[in-house]
Structure formats: structure tokens, C-alpha cells
């Protein structure tokens, strides 16, 4: 089963959910804002893909953070920020077996569909 993590109002997440259903892939959606996200799950993602891949620096949530929080971000501070502000996590995040995929491009679709 594919676990998909994201936000229910995110356009990319909605597109990914529709694609998973159309491909008839067994999946479960987890809204990181409404359902929460534990530190162990986030750390597993960081270990798998790196915090730099997970941290969304292009969104409004990042731009609204004070400069002091955005300066000198490292693994520990990035993890704390993503737990406090789930919208800072690039979306969607897929967990399929021991594989963690971030985003919804052709590479992710190919990996999920195989």
C-alpha cells in the first residue's frame, strides 16, 4: 500500500490522489496538518531523502517566517520548523514500502506505478 502525505487543499496533492485512484493503486492519504505528523516519521523521511529535499522554501509559509528562523537553517532547525509548520514540507510525500518519494513528477509516477 502506498501512503501519501500532504495537505487536502494542495493542488498537487489533489492531482496525485486523482492519479492514484485512476491507476487503481492501493493508497491511503494522510493530511499532515489535520492528522498531524510525528517526529519519528519526519526523521525517517529526512534520513531517506535529506532535509534539503523536504523543506519547501518556495511557499508562502516559508516567506512569512521571521528572518531569524530562515537564517542558518540546519537539519535540526529544519525538522523543528517542519513539525511546527507542516506546510513547509514539500508535497506530496509518498511512502511505498521502504521507498520515500517527494513531489509528483514523472519520476515519482513511474516509481509508484511499477
What one-character DSSP code corresponds to residue 12? Answer: H
SS3 content of the chain, % helix, strand, coil (to 5): 50, 20, 30
SS3 96: strand
Over residues 25-45, the pLDDT tens digits come to 999 999 999 999 999 999 999
Residues 32, 53: Cα–Cα separation, whole Å: 17
Number of domains in the chain: 1
Check 10, 37, 82, 101 and give the catalytic one: 10
SS3 55: strand
Residue 77 sits in a domain whose CATH number is: 3.40.30.10
Over residues 47-67, the pLDDT tens digits come to 999 999 999 999 999 999 999
Catalytic-residue membership of 13: no
- Give the pTM: 0.93
Residues 8, 44: Cα–Cα separation, whole Å: 22
Which range of residues forms the domain containing residue 53?
2-113
Question: What is the model's pLDDT at position 113?
Answer: 85
Amino acid at each position: 500500500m502506498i501512503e501519501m502525505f500532504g495537505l487536502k487543499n494542495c493542488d498537487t496533492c489533489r492531482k496525485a490522489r486523482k492519479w492514484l485512484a485512476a491507476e487503481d493503486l492501493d493508497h491511503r492519504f494522510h493530511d499532515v496538518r489535520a492528522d498531524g505528523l510525528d517526529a519519528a516519521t519526519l526523521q525517517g523521511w529526512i534520513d531517506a531523502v535529506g532535509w534539503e529535499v523536504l523543506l519547501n522554501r518556495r511557499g508562502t509559509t516559508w516567506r512569512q517566517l521571521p528572518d531569524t528562523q530562515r537564517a542558518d537553517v540546519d537539519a535540526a532547525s529544519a525538522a523543528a520548523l517542519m513539525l511546527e509548520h507542516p506546510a513547509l514540507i514539500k508535497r506530496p510525500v509518498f511512502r511505498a514500502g521502504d521507498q520515500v518519494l517527494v513531489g509528483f513528477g514523472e519520476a515519482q509516477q513511474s516509481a509508484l506505478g511499477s
